[in-house]
Structure 1
């Protein structure tokens, strides 16, 4: 039996979540402790909330006053409602919540039936039941109950490097599937914006939205996750990041944005996409060619069908890149013009070492002259970071105008020069971030 425990400050929110299951005839109240229960299996949220408030102290130092627990037996264990109720009461007693007010609800929204328990963790004198070592205490208790009642041993599903990421199955445990998808995508792929994050999630029928606002005068900034069908339509109630795990939080995702900025190298993806584009004659041809190279192209359209977003997902380098990061010829506007008019196919700017007519011979070697018709400003792309500030990314070749060919990977590739190139990139990024205080 797997127990999942979360602590929070909103008893009403936990009650509302369970009431929603009951209203959809996918759940029922099994029993309560110190909370009114009319025996119908339904829940009166206002009445239950008032009962919980009666047990709340006038003041407490605890910020998180409640716990929301789910007990999940092995799928092969088929338990009656009386058995679920008995397990819940024994579990709460052993966890130290025997004298606390709590409510037990059975969920039947997936094939693997399970129970949820909403409980206070703050006593009337203002002290709180400790959550220290909750995971280990809970695991010992669930193993004890499995042995006592002859239940199968159930474990959390472990994420392994070779585990495939699959689309959300509407008939399965949606919350678990979304959590696994978000965790595996975060572990394996690099992305720098919410749009890029959503592009990779969308391949597996998951969507993420930012939530900003105020509650009781306090600002909050969070994320909410949705399960969708293949067309992007939401098919289930959303899940707050806090219900999935810390890895899904806004802080965690923003941190991934920042770390990815120092690790992503767009050049391999850009070379591959450019090669496919040069050989393609249409939208379908281009997308199919990318698929053969293990790259997905995610397009976002306005209501009138115009492309306003294009993201390349390179499963070879595990990077997610908006088209503008690769160059203006791969941007949404350029692709929209091409797909609607074949003669508007973007002109791929050759890498400096490929332009034989644009070289000057210096000191016994070849040296690239700047391109006079391409202003530096046109080679800049502007994007917003996770805090909403604008920053500029420069095309790799524009970093050293007049020295581009020296640092290009090609037939004359030199490891020492490439190391110097990377060092210059590192210094540029460090200068952009500013000194550490």
Structure 2
């Protein structure tokens, strides 16, 4: 049996918590000590609170006057309500709390039935009962009660490196499962953002959200954890990080972000993802191939089905990486285009002609008169310019004729006119024409 003792200042909160279990038919009041009990199994929260307050002297200065105890037998142990009642009374007696006012509740919200005890820790003289050595005393009392009632020895579950991480089971102790999963994920995986952290948590039906605000003029920054089903719907009340443990706190997670930056090597994951992507025929095939390589991928979609986020969880290297961290080709936009718009992907298919085509080099211009014109631009006369222009027009017409004849042969090479200049193109002539146009714009006239 495992017994947990917590102390606090919210007596009404503890009574309300247990009262809600009764109202939802997931618990009942077994017995009380110095507190009114009508024997119906239900409880009047307001009256119970007033009864407790009568036992607290007005002179008491104890800031945390109450304690909340849970007794948790092994799941295989089967106890009747009578057994639970006797067990709780004996526990309080052995711990030295027999004279304190307390209430005993049985919770049946999970398969492992257990007992909660709400009690005062302030005596009639206003002094707080000492909790010195309570840890060792508590453990000793549990061992004695296990022997007396024939219970199995139940120690707190210890986290080991080889312990498998499982999805949250709605029929089990959800808080304990969430706490264990969060602790194991933090111990084993490396991540750098809240998105990457949530991606690995989602594999086990858990979601984490940041809570920032201000209370009484003071800022707070915390985390809240949710247990979900396979569809991502919340199945239980959220848990503040403080209820799970320091390992789940905002400070602890932010610290893991910083430490992971120097430890993550994306190369092994990138190579495997690239190989799977090159061989895949679609998103489902891509996901299956990654799974075979020990990598889970989490896609995030809009309502229209567009991929707006992708994260890879490599269980081999224990790293969690957003797609863009691996490279642009693995980003959400790139994978959305590949899987949702395959028709937009570029192709390199080039049609091959049925018959071979022989392409001859065009005749080069050997007109020495044209060369002399380009070399003596400054001494050109207006008549020379007119003759040169007429010659160029004659060559252009000839080229047009030859191109037309080539087209009529029944086959043209795509892009021939762009990448293979015809006979009308002469670099020297083009340069000559451009320079003459510039001179004309400046108002210069050719010298005679």
Do they superpose with TM above 0.5?
A: yes
> What 5-or-longer segments of structure 1 have no aligned partner?
348-437
Q: Which residue of 2 aligns with 1:364?
A: none
* Superposition pairs of residues 228-243 of structure 1, within 5 angstroms: 228-243=228-243
Instruction: Kindly indicate whether residue 37 of structure 2 is the aligned counterpart of residue 73 of structure 1.
Output: no
Question: What is the alpha-carbon distance in structure 1 between the residues aligned to residue 325 and residue 165 of structure 2?
Answer: 26
TM-score normalised to the size of structure 2? 0.69
Question: What is the alpha-carbon distance in structure 2 between the residues aligned to residue 44 and residue 339 of structure 1?
Answer: 60
Q: Flag the 1:166–1:153 CA change in 2: closer, same or farther, 3 A.
A: same
* Superposition pairs of residues 24-35 of structure 1, within 5 angstroms: 24-35=24-35
Q: SS state of the match for residue 71, structure 2?
A: strand
Q: How many positions carry a matched residue from both structures?
A: 347
Q: SS state of the match for residue 89, structure 1?
A: helix
Instruction: Kindly indicate whether residue 295 of structure 2 is the aligned counterpart of residue 295 of structure 1.
Output: yes
Structure 1 residue 292: Cα displacement: 1.5
Question: What is the alpha-carbon distance in structure 2 between the residues aligned to residue 90 and residue 208 of structure 1?
Answer: 40
Q: Flag the 1:17–1:261 CA change in 2: closer, same or farther, 3 A.
A: farther
Q: Which residue of 1 aligns with 2:86?
A: 86
| Contact 1:6 1:243 survives alignment (8 Å) | no
Question: What is the alpha-carbon distance in structure 1 between the residues aligned to residue 53 and residue 192 of structure 2?
Answer: 44
Structure 1 residue 127: Cα displacement: 4.6
| Contact 1:338 1:346 survives alignment (8 Å) | no
Q: SS state of the match for residue 263, structure 1?
A: coil
Structure 1 residue 230: Cα displacement: 0.9
Q: Flag the 1:62–1:267 CA change in 2: closer, same or farther, 3 A.
A: farther
Q: Flag the 1:273–1:49 CA change in 2: closer, same or farther, 3 A.
A: farther
CA RMSD, Structure 1 to Structure 2 (Å): 2.8
* Stretch deviating more after TM superposition (188-197 or 312-321): 188-197
Question: What is the alpha-carbon distance in structure 1 between the residues aligned to residue 336 and residue 195 of structure 2?
Answer: 18
Task: List 4+ stretches of structure 1 deviating above 6 A.
Answer: none
Bigger fraction of residues in strand: 1
Q: SS state of the match for residue 6, structure 2?
A: strand
Structure whose alpha-carbon radius of gyration is higher = 2
Q: Flag the 1:328–1:145 CA change in 2: closer, same or farther, 3 A.
A: same
Q: Which residue of 2 aligns with 1:134?
A: 134
Q: Flag the 1:82–1:218 CA change in 2: closer, same or farther, 3 A.
A: farther
Structure 1 residue 293: Cα displacement: 1.2
Q: Which residue of 1 aligns with 2:167?
A: 167
> What 5-or-longer segments of structure 2 have no aligned partner?
348-448
Q: Which residue of 2 aligns with 1:248?
A: 248
For residues 73-128 of structure 1, give each alpha carbon's deviation from its aligned partner in whole angstroms, at most 9, with x where no partner exists: 12332222122122212222333333333322101112221111223335566654
Q: Flag the 1:98–1:328 CA change in 2: closer, same or farther, 3 A.
A: farther
Q: SS state of the match for residue 28, structure 1?
A: strand
| Contact 2:165 2:204 survives alignment (8 Å) | yes
Question: What is the alpha-carbon distance in structure 2 between the residues aligned to residue 12 and residue 195 of structure 1?
Answer: 38
| Contact 1:334 1:346 survives alignment (8 Å) | no
Q: Flag the 1:208–1:46 CA change in 2: closer, same or farther, 3 A.
A: farther
Question: What is the alpha-carbon distance in structure 2 between the residues aligned to residue 240 and residue 77 of structure 1?
Answer: 30
* Superposition pairs of residues 16-415 of structure 1, within 5 angstroms: 16-56=16-56, 64-123=64-123, 127-214=127-214, 219-343=219-343
| Contact 1:282 1:342 survives alignment (8 Å) | no
| Contact 1:108 1:114 survives alignment (8 Å) | yes
Question: What is the alpha-carbon distance in structure 1 between the residues aligned to residue 222 and residue 297 of structure 2?
Answer: 28
Question: What is the alpha-carbon distance in structure 2 between the residues aligned to residue 105 and residue 232 of structure 1?
Answer: 33
Structure 1 residue 263: Cα displacement: 1.9
Structure 1 residue 215: Cα displacement: 5.2
Q: Flag the 1:164–1:102 CA change in 2: closer, same or farther, 3 A.
A: same
Q: SS state of the match for residue 262, structure 2?
A: helix
Q: Flag the 1:301–1:346 CA change in 2: closer, same or farther, 3 A.
A: farther
TM-score normalised to the size of structure 1? 0.71
